[in-house]
Amino acid sequence: MAEPVKKDQPIVRYSDLARSPANSQRSIDPSTHDHTPGEIAFREATQLKSLARSDASRIITSDVVVDPKAVQLFEQILKDVKVVYDAVRSGQTFRLDRIFGLAQAIVDYPDTDRLLYQVFEAQQQVYQPYLNSAHCTILAVQIARGMGHQRDELVQLTVASLVHDIGTQKLSQELLDKPGKLSKEEFAAVQTHPEVGYKLLMQYSPQHTWLAKIVRDEHERENGQGYPHGLHSEEIHDLAKVIGVADIYDALTSPRPYRRIFSPHEAVQELLDCQEHLGYSRPVVRALIQQLSLFPVGCWVRLSSQEIGRVVQSNSRSPLRPVVEVLHDSAGQPLASPRCVDLNTNPLLYIVSSLPLEAPASASSTNGRHE
Ligand SMILES: [Fe+2]
């Protein structure tokens, strides 16, 4: 698990390290980082809304303890996945050598929380399919590690997760980018992507049959309600079950135009609530909760001091006491110098509530979408 943040660790500005020329040209929409009252008190909501309005760019580029290696690895994920996806989209052959090398580097990187933090930092700046691959992969490795999978299996899992949606690159861009609910025919077309991915991988990487099988099974569910083949529990590849749950968690915590975004805290609760009737693997969901804790990286929280911050590192030994980057004082004012607090070594300080994120749209259903 992650090492605790040390007081003397250097503060590195994410924007200095991670902003590529392509990313720097993307505009940031402050409205997508607004926060809503929901169940929380009016004062809390007002503070958060003013935070989002006045300080949205700082949320994206806030000073946090960042490991340059994590930034580099995260950017490499985006780059290597893009190369493969672009090749598929343009009908060219592709090789997976770089993906296999990258997978080993990801598995050998010791601090998944720091990689996870890159996902939240980059959420408004990176094209969603590449970000989904990165987020899903980082989570899947963390979950599988918690389940006791050994290195060889972790590398296999990572390779499969990096390219798990390769089949979508044969769908029309219009369909992939469609903001509203899909028609029955469109949904049926989207549901072909695991089988398309299977065939692509069997064609271009036939020596790795396990890879094609994992990619094909990622949307299958324990109760036989998944697709493309409606497989049941024991018929589904074990590593596909891990990717399936990680993919759902990513979908819940990512902005979508057709439904509200879940905070990391809400996403964990949602997975717990829905695991039975939506057929998610119970051991996998349990491992995800153990690994992410009740306050996952990226989660906004209010501390007992009434200050507001964001979780930057979980603590598997003490799930209620993660490391928090404190960004706002007790009156809701942005701090000139945000600081990281390890709640595990500050017994007088604790989390009193997590703060839900604002919904970009009022719809609350994922009906008709492939996730
Ligand atoms: Fe998929």
179 within some domain: yes
How many Å lie between the centroid of ligand 1 and the Cα of residue 164? 6
Cα 370 to Cα 97: distance, rounded to the nearest angstrom = 28
- Long-range contacts, 336-339 (Cβ 8 Å, 24+): 338/62, 338/63, 338/64, 338/309
Report how many domains make up the chain.
1
The CA–CA distances, whole Å, from 45 to 36, 37, 161 equal: 6, 4, 37
- Distance from residue 324's CA to the centre of ligand 1 (Å): 32
pLDDT at 183 over 60: yes
Distance from residue 21's CA to the centre of ligand 1 (Å): 29
Q: Which residue has the higher pLDDT, 171 or 110?
A: 171
- The widest CA-to-CA distance across the chain, in whole angstroms, is 60
> How far is ligand 1, taken at its centre, from the CA of residue 205, in Å?
19
Neighbours of ion ligand 1 (CB under 5 A): 165
Pairing type for strands 351-355 and 300-303 reads antiparallel
Ligand 1: centre distance to CA 371 (Å): 6
Please state, in angstroms and rounded to a whole number, the distance separating the CA atoms of residues 227 and 78: 27
Of the two residues 258 and 150, the one the predictor is more confident about is 150
Specify the pTM: 0.74
Domain contains 362: no
Q: Give the residue numbers spanning the domain of 205.
A: 32-355
Residue 219 reports pLDDT greater than 90: yes
Cα 93 to averaged position of ligand 1 atoms, centre (Å):
21
Name the DSSP class of 269.
H
- CA of 273 from ligand 1 middle (Å) equals 22
Does 365 fall in a domain? no
Tell me whether residue 360 is in a domain.
no
- Distance (angstroms) between ligand 1 centre and the Cα of 173 equals 15
* Residues 234, 15: Cα–Cα separation, whole Å: 45
Task: Classify residue 335: in a domain, yes or no.
Answer: yes
In this structure, what DSSP letter does residue 340 have?
Answer: E
Looking at the domain assignment, is residue 17 inside a domain?
Answer: no
C-alpha 214, offset from chain centre? 19
Calculate mean pLDDT across residues 272-299.
87
* Ligand 1 geometric centre to CA of 265 (Å): 23
C-alpha distances out from residue 308 to 63, 79, 97, 273, Å: 15, 34, 44, 27
CA of 190 from ligand 1 middle (Å) equals 9
Write down the pLDDT at residue 125: 80
For residues 285 and 325, give the distance between their C-alpha atoms in angstroms, rounded to a whole number: 27
226 assigned to some structural domain: yes
The string of pLDDT tens digits covering residues 122-150 is: 877 888 889 999 999 999 999 999 999 99
Residue 46, domain CATH? 1.10.3210.10
Residue 368 lies in a domain: no
Question: Contact 148/334 with Cβ under 8 angstroms?
Answer: no
Binning pLDDT at 50, 70 and 90, where does residue 357 land?
low
